[in-house]
Structures are given as C-alpha cells and as structure tokens.
A and B are shown apart, each in its own frame.
Chain A
C-alpha cells in the first residue's frame, strides 16, 4: 500500500477529546497477517486516527480484496 494518501480534505476537523487540530503521521495498518505503514490524519496528543471515506472505499478496499485473494 502506498504510504502517500489520496488528497483528503481534513480542514476544520479536530479531535473531540483533546480539541486539538489534526496532523498527519505514520500509522500501522494490518489485515490478514499483512502490515503496512501509512500516513493518516489524527490527533498528535492522544493518537486517535481517522480513516476518511476516500481511503476506506478506495485504496484500502482494493488492498483488502487483494489480500483476501492471496
């Protein structure tokens, strides 16, 4: 999986708990034993990450299907 994300609009989003704006950092994602490092928006304070729709129904879904067929 590419580490770069498709263009995502994260303007205006803040972490509800920490009330801090989101930044982009490296996050580990796993599926069926495979593991990738990707850049995701999230809260630098508490570490909660956001998976936007464009990623969930786009690249992530493609990779899920690929891994399921392995």
Chain B
C-alpha cells in the first residue's frame, strides 16, 4: 500500500487535534484533561498533569490570564470555562510533583533578570541537567509581585525553592556593563537576558537595538550565544513570558547538542486547531459564581469543570459500533491497518479489525472532512488477498454461499415465456430469493402483468460478497458470467430488488442499464396499496447500500405514503442510515460485532421496522425487533402480524429456499417440471437443540448428511460402549467435520452433536494433504467449493 493513501486518510481525521483552549494556550495546557480529572475528584492527578505542562505551576498558575477562555467553544453559548480559577484550586489543594534530579551537565547558562521567562527557563533547563545561574538585578521574582498584586509571596518563594532544589544558583548582578556580559559569555555556554524584568536595563549590557530583537521562534539574539525573553508588553503577557522561557529551553538544549535551532517548531506557539466539534447537542450552562475566586471550593471547582464541553471530534465514533468496539478513530485505524498490511513477519493483529468493517460509508458521510475509511478498508482487503494474507476462514461461508447460489441447481435465467428475449430482466438477488421465495414469485407475476409479459427472470448472486472480501478475480468471474447471459438475453433493462446488488451493478458493471424494483413498483404498484389496519405503526429503515441512492429512497417513500401514510422515519435514515451488519461481510467475519451492529441499527423502537433489503429485515429480527420487508406490505398484507415476528430462515433453510424457488418458479411460469430426485434412503434426524450451534458455526444440514452418508458407506470410526454413540468424521473440503450420533431401532441416524476443525491431523481419515488456504479459483459447480 502506498503510504500516500495512509497520509491522505490521516490528514482528514482531526480526532487527535487539540481543542481550541489548548491550541491557543501559550503553554498548550490540556484544559480538557484538567477538567475531566476535577470532575472525577482526582485533584492529585490534575496536579500531575498541570506540573507536566505548566512549568513552575506553583507560580505560573497564579499568573495565568486564561487566554483559553475566549477561545473556549462555550464562549459562543454563554461564557468560556474559567480555567485560571480551576488552576488556582488545583494549586491550593495539592502538592507539587517532586522533580527527578538529573546529574549536572557541563552546559551552564547564565540568566540575567528573574521574571517569568528566566524562571521557566531555569526550571525546564535544569530538569535536563543544564544548570542555570541567575544574576539578579533586583529581588527574585520581585517584578512579578509588583505587576500582579494578588500574587501571594509564597508562590514566589515556592518557585525559588523549586529552582534551588533543581541545582540552580543565584548571584547578585551588581552593575551591568558590556564587560559584565563579556565575562559571562566567557564563563558560560550561553547567556539568557530576561527583558521581561523591568529592573534590568539591557542597554547597559552594550546590546544594540537590533541585538535586542530576538528571533521569534528560537529567541536567539544576533549576538552570538545570547538568548532573550521579550519584554512583557503583549496581551496575556505572563503566559507569553512563560512560553518564551519554554521556547528558549528548546533552543538552548538544541544549541548545546549542536542541533538545528529552528526546525519543526511550528506548533510551539499558539495555532489554529483543525479540530471540528459538533455543538448541536451542547446545552447552555451559566458560569459558576465563585464566592471567593482566590479560594475556590471543591463544589465550585467541580461545577465549573462540569461546564467543559470536552471538545472532541467524535461524530464517527458516535454512530459506528465498529469504531467504538475497537476503541479507535479513523487516524488510529489507518495506522494500525497500514502496519498490518506492511507486516512482513509476525502476527497481523488487525486482520479482524479490517474484516469486521461494514464498508457502509456512514463514517465518511458523517465526518466533517469526509474521511473515507471504507475505501481504505477495500484497498487493505484487496492487498491481503493479493499477498495471500487474508485469513481463509474470514469470508469462507459467504463465498461458499455465493458459489452455491450460482450453481446449476439453484441459479437460472429464463426469458419471458414464449419470447426469445425480454425488455426487462428481474434480478431479485440471492438473499431475497433465500428469504422470501414466495413473494419473489408474486413480484415476478406482477411485473409481467404490468409490462405485457416482457420480463425475464434470473436467480443468481450478483457477486457482491466476492467484492466485499477483496477477491477481484472471483468478482470478475461472476460479473463476466452475468454479462454473457445478459448479452444473450438481448441486453435487457435489469430490475434489481436488492440494494446491495444495485450498488454492486453500479460500481462493477456500469455498462448494464439498471433500475431499482422500488422505482418500478412506485410507477406501477400492485392494486390496493393502503393497509386496512392504519393503526399499525411502522418505521422505515433505509438499507445502507441506498445511502447515495436518493431516487430509490424517494420511490420507497412514495410507496410507503400510500401503504401507511403515518409511517415514521428512523433518527438515522437516508444519507445517515445505519447498516444491519451484513454489509462488507462484517457479520460474517465477526459474528458478535455483527449482532451489535444489528442491535444498534434496529433497537431504537419496538414497533415493526420496515426495510427493503432481505438481509436487513432478517438481521433486525435476529436483533429482537419486529420487522418486515417492504414486499410483505405489498404482497402479503393479510399476514403482517405473523410475518413481523417471524425469525429469518436459518442457513440451511436459505439454501433449501433457493433450490425450491427454482423448481417452483420454473413450474409456475414456464411449465417446466423436473422429475423428483430419488428419495433419500438414510433418515437423518438432527436434534433441535443443535440448530443454534449449527448457525453459529455456519454448518448446514447438508454438511452433516455428507458425513453420515460416508459413515453409512464405509463404517463409522468410533463407538462408545457406555453411551451407544458413534463418532465419525469426513473432510469434504478445507474443514474436517465430526458427527456424533446414535442409531435407533428403526435405523434412523439421530444426530447428537458435531464439531469441526481446519487443521489436518495424522490418522484422521479423508484428510489427505493440506490444500492451499485460498478460495480463489474454486470450481463453480455443485454448490460446494
């Protein structure tokens, strides 16, 4: 994967950007972190954070003017959070974190003056081992006490104690002169002149006006080895002075190491953040009135901290269970996935993360910058396939299902009866045929009536699961087979019922002219649309594949307006609709998260949810929400009560439904009756309690039958003398199945349990050599690959 793809996605995600309060704070104090700790009553933790970010906090905290307050997003609602008072509360109610003493380096600095710039410089530099000697032109910190009358003198003496404990020294400067400066430059590696200290006359040092203007980034003077804190005559002067001390620390540290002074320092000063914050749900909260702002109480501090909006860009996190489950955001995700892709040796820990995504585009749609995670996931999956790193089991069942749906026993194309070709071709899609075979027949009958018998029928899978799983080869194989049939059919207009088929056709075979069934039915609806029972409260769900298909969504709404004029919309609908978990084969790769998706999309009410996608309908039922397919409303009005509470068919029933649909449709519309296959001599009874396990493990009745047939032919492997149970196995493909059963007196095989594994074990018959773990190039016959 090209790193540019990663960088492009990273650029669009602003999750890691600081909130405005932090980006505009000269010291970049994490106000969000402080208020959070205060709300949680963790004052000591708040102090640790403050000491880390605000040098000499016991002094600087008192002098903080709160540059953040007018940048606070609360400012637009009522008034910014009063951070300076909260900082004071923290300082008064906690103890400073003791600095870790560092051995002294040989890089010594002289500081002339003792305003905030020099104090911060000494604190920061000495923590790195570079000790500072102050040359005082007045009492230590005297200028600060004079400038800020509410500053307690203890704050200054605490700062002095701190600097002393860090190994810094203090001398009287005496008379300043050019010779004095020359002497210091002789004795020290560098000299720092604190122009913020009004007791200091820089001209006396012989520095020219040009030499007194420091470089704005590095704070170095044009005089060699001289660094300067600018005078305190700017707004928010105290914090600007502290920032100057911090910036000069970086410069001096680099200077001592012989490194470049100005590189990569863009975000040291205040800057505009690109963080996007959604304030739609922010409630106004009036500022706390502190009885004594110089001594705030815990209750007052916590109430004020509670006003913090906790600014963060988490629009995508709010709507996506996948992002929440993996505790990520697009920028973090992109990095993890990229590292996963480029891993040459070792465990690829993000495979499951990549394969659980639904590729539903909701995050892109809701992201203020349109970060396209799904496109990234698609590329990641493609590369996993190309490099043979896609876990074989991730999409195996879905691909087998595709192959089965397109096998000769289930798939078919027929032109309209009595015609060589038709104007339209109805393509219901493999999931709709599997879920609602009876209604598909009704739709087909209706279409032929509405379009003068000009509609052909094709039952097959479009190929979307192959695309979702990153198998471009298989995708191409399926689409070229479709195109072959479509050409022979006279290139008819393809009417698609399934929104995923519609999207797949649009993206993968754009040469085929398509129309949504819902547009067709909106124009030519069946008779008597309106429900007799208008008290039935219905809520409409848009399948995620229709996110950008406004035409389809509007057609469905025009139908719904006639069926149940009082139907409701979901909170997340149309462009912001949520996926049921089937999209991108997410639920296939991650069952548990798949169910979370279904619940997240469906459980916003208890009345029947109407979808126009068979997968959505059945997955909502699985999540526990009464649900209907739009076709139920159009073609099975009398059975809505029963249908809304019905679970979807299980995997075996789906396969059976496709088989029986073919037989029934060919008989009903083309008078083709196939001879019944010879009846099955073996009677196999699967214990009812086993079905949920079969669903979970994606095992079909047919899988178990195969194992039993083999045992009937070749004898079982094991017998238990205590329980009378037999145990036998078969490896029909990449999986070995074990089945435990008893034979009753009537010769019936009563299935008691089953399990399976992919490993090949010596001594387990039928295993043979291990085959390569890839699905590409599977034979397209027989429904099994």
Q: Measuring CB to CB, which residues of chain A are less than 8 angstroms from any residue of chain B?
A: 11-17, 22, 27-32, 40, 42, 47-51, 53, 55-57, 60-61, 63-66, 68-70
Tell me if A51 and B738 are in contact (CB < 8 A). yes
Chain A residues within 8 Å of B726, by CB = 16
Tell me if B391 and A63 are in contact (CB < 8 A). no
B254 at the interface (CB under 8 A from A): no
B41 at the interface (CB under 8 A from A): no
- In the complex, which residues 741-766 of chain B have their Cβ closer than 8 Å to any Cβ of chain A? 753, 755-765
Chain A residues within 8 Å of B765, by CB = 48
Tell me if B718 and A49 are in contact (CB < 8 A). no
Measured between alpha carbons, how far is A1 from B720 in the docked complex, in Å? 28
Chain A residues within 8 Å of B394, by CB = 68
Nearest CB on B from A41, distance (A)? 9
Chain B residues within 8 Å of A12, by CB = 720-723
Chain B residues within 8 Å of A70, by CB = 346-348
Chain B residues within 8 Å of A64, by CB = 393, 757-759
Chain B residues within 8 Å of A28, by CB = 761-762
Q: Whose C-beta in chain A lies nearest to the C-beta of B351?
A: A69
Tell me if B762 and A27 are in contact (CB < 8 A). yes
Measured between alpha carbons, how far is A68 from B762 in the docked complex, in Å? 20
B279 at the interface (CB under 8 A from A): no
Partner of B773, one of A11, A13, A14, A32: A32
Partner of B761, one of A13, A14, A29, A68: A29
Describe B's contact surface by its main secondary structure: loop
Encode contact with A along B335-363: 1 for CB under 8 Å, 0 otherwise.
Answer: 00000000000111101100000000000
Tell me if A14 and B762 are in contact (CB < 8 A). no
Partner of B764, one of A14, A49, A57: A49
Tell me if A14 and B391 are in contact (CB < 8 A). no
A-B pair number, CB within 8 angstroms: 102
Tell me if A14 and B718 are in contact (CB < 8 A). yes
Measured between alpha carbons, how far is A48 from B394 in the docked complex, in Å? 30
Nearest CB on A from B339, distance (A)? 13
Chain B residues within 8 Å of A30, by CB = 759-760, 770
Encode contact with A along B764-785: 1 for CB under 8 Å, 0 otherwise.
Answer: 1100001001000000000000
For chain B, the count of residues having a C-beta within 8 Å of the partner chain is 38
Tell me if A56 and B718 are in contact (CB < 8 A). no
Nearest CB on B from A67, distance (A)? 9
Describe A's contact surface by its main secondary structure: mixed
Measured between alpha carbons, how far is A64 from B396 in the docked complex, in Å? 14
Chain B residues within 8 Å of A56, by CB = 738, 755-757
Q: 10 A-B Cβ contacts within 8 A?
A: A13-B718, A14-B719, A17-B715, A29-B759, A31-B760, A51-B736, A51-B761, A56-B757, A57-B755, A69-B347
Other A-B contacts than A29-B760, A53-B753, A68-B393, 5 sampled, CB-CB below 8 A, are: A16-B716, A31-B760, A51-B729, A65-B393, A69-B349
Measured between alpha carbons, how far is A57 from B763 in the docked complex, in Å? 19
Chain A residues within 8 Å of B204, by CB = none
Chain B residues within 8 Å of A60, by CB = 757, 759
Tell me if B721 and A49 are in contact (CB < 8 A). no
Measured between alpha carbons, how far is A55 from B736 in the docked complex, in Å? 13
Measured between alpha carbons, how far is A30 from B757 in the docked complex, in Å? 11
Measured between alpha carbons, how far is A69 from B394 in the docked complex, in Å? 11
Nearest CB on A from B732, distance (A)? 16
Tell me if B727 and A50 are in contact (CB < 8 A). yes
Tell me if B717 and A48 are in contact (CB < 8 A). yes
Q: Whose C-beta in chain B lies nearest to the C-beta of A38?
A: B761
Q: Which 4 A-B pairs have the closest CB atoms?
A: A12-B722, A49-B763, A68-B391, A53-B755
B392 at the interface (CB under 8 A from A): yes
Tell me if B761 and A40 are in contact (CB < 8 A). yes
Interface centre among A17, A51, A66 (most CB of B within 10 A): A51
Tell me if B391 and A69 are in contact (CB < 8 A). yes
Measured between alpha carbons, how far is A29 from B756 in the docked complex, in Å? 14
Nearest CB on B from A45, distance (A)? 12
Chain A residues within 8 Å of B392, by CB = 68
Contacts A16-B715, A28-B762; A51 near B757 (Cβ below 8 A)? yes
Chain A residues within 8 Å of B348, by CB = 69-70
Measured between alpha carbons, how far is A22 from B727 in the docked complex, in Å? 13
Measured between alpha carbons, how far is A65 from B348 in the docked complex, in Å? 11
Chain B residues within 8 Å of A68, by CB = 351, 391-394, 773
Nearest CB on B from A7, distance (A)? 17
Chain A residues within 8 Å of B736, by CB = 51
Contacts A29-B762, A42-B763; A53 near B738 (Cβ below 8 A)? yes
Measured between alpha carbons, how far is A50 from B723 in the docked complex, in Å? 17
Contacts A60-B757, A64-B759; A15 near B764 (Cβ below 8 A)? no
Chain B residues within 8 Å of A31, by CB = 758-760, 770
